[in-house]
Amino acid sequence: MRVADFDFDLPADLIAQFPPAVRGGSRLLHVEASGTLHDHWFSELPALLQPDDLLVMNDTRVIKARLFGQKDSGGKVELLVERVTDEFEALAFIRASHAPKPGSHIHLSDDTLLDVLARQDDLTQLRFPRPVLEVLDQFGRLPLPPYIEHTPTADDEARYQTVYANEPGAVAAPTAGLHFDDAMLDTLTQQGIRTARVTLHVGAGTFQPVRVDHVADHRMHSERYTIPPATVDAIRDTHARGGHVVAVGTTSLRALEAAAQSGKLHAGSGETDIFITPGYRFRVVDTLITNFHLPRSTLLMLVSAFAGVDTIRAAYAHAISERYRFFSYGDAMFLEKSPPA
């Protein structure tokens, strides 16, 4: 398939620049496996679920991954940490008039210098003088997506984070989870719907454009994930009971499917660059809650693989005509998996 097959025209005023007034105050488009569409509010989600269903959520926490500094020469540098590789090192995208060379430094302050270690394709390996997360907490800014045009505020620091975020390491939010508040989670529990956790630290590569013409030529950035044994047990029990495994977000889905590439879901941690495109056979996930994704993006390819290319095209056309809000702060979809061809 060609990347152009996943293009669509989106009016700029449908790109959500701010979250809804209250968490969960968004719309929800239910897309049945048959392609039938139903307009809902996100508050109606419990009515779409059954007591034996299991929601799997990504508990990663967004870190303040955007940094501003100077090179040894005094030239300005903007950094976006793509992922933390160990306690004192990280890979970052660097924006500067001339990229700093290995062996040089990036100055965040008079006494906080980052060592430039090496280039790795379009990323740079950096060593921090103190633990990476400590330095980011002191000097970093929230890395809002490039299509959100305002400077991050205190409200963004609260709302661009799920209420169940726990494990720091993401540089982009698992945005399907932003719709859930504590009251919704309580309602689901009272209804007998269980939840489980995975961790996938979303990298900045999620916003990188697909620069090739053919889908098969694209290569994903790797991301770190963890699947707890309790989550594997809950998934097996759910399927044994006849319930559905509902991935909250594409990141939860990618973690689960990456851990099941052998044909059986395994607990543990690992790196994944899994690229899910139409024709992929899903091994774990039955239903997907997700936001609306960018044209020509790998995430649009993923949801097209899950629900069907024609179904997603029709759903997106409907969402645009009904003026749904798009992208990270936008509305959500409840996707049923398309039947095997």
State how beta strands 76-86 and 268-272 pair.
unpaired
Q: Please report, as a single letter, which amino acid is at residue 164.
A: Y
Q: What does the block give as tokens for 71? A: 């090179």
Q: Which residues pair with 70 in a beta bridge?
A: 76, 107
The segment(s) of the chain belonging to CATH 2.40.10.240 are 66-139
What pLDDT digit, counting tens, does each position of 21-77 carry? 999 999 999 999 999 999 999 999 999 999 999 999 999 999 999 999 999 999 999
Question: Considering the domain 66-139, what is its CATH architecture?
Answer: Beta Barrel (2.40)
The segment(s) of the chain belonging to CATH 3.40.1780.10 are 3-62+155-336
pTM: 0.94
CB 180 within 8 A of CB 59: no
Residue 128's alpha-carbon distances to 31, 63, 102, 224, 273, in angstroms, are: 46, 15, 14, 20, 26
Q: What is the CATH number of domain 3-62+155-336?
A: 3.40.1780.10
- Taking 90 as the threshold, does the pLDDT of residue 341 lie above it? no
Mean pLDDT value across residues 11-28? 97
State how beta strands 332-336 and 123-127 pair.
unpaired
**Count of CA atoms in the C-beta half-sphere (13 A) of 138:** 12
What pLDDT digit, counting tens, does each position of 94-109 carry? 999 999 999 999 999 9
Dihedrals phi, psi of 38, to nearest 5 degrees? -135, 130
pLDDT bucket at 144, cuts 50 / 70 / 90: very high
pLDDT bucket at 204, cuts 50 / 70 / 90: confident
Mean pLDDT of the chain: 95
CB 56 within 8 A of CB 198: yes
pLDDT on residue 64: 96
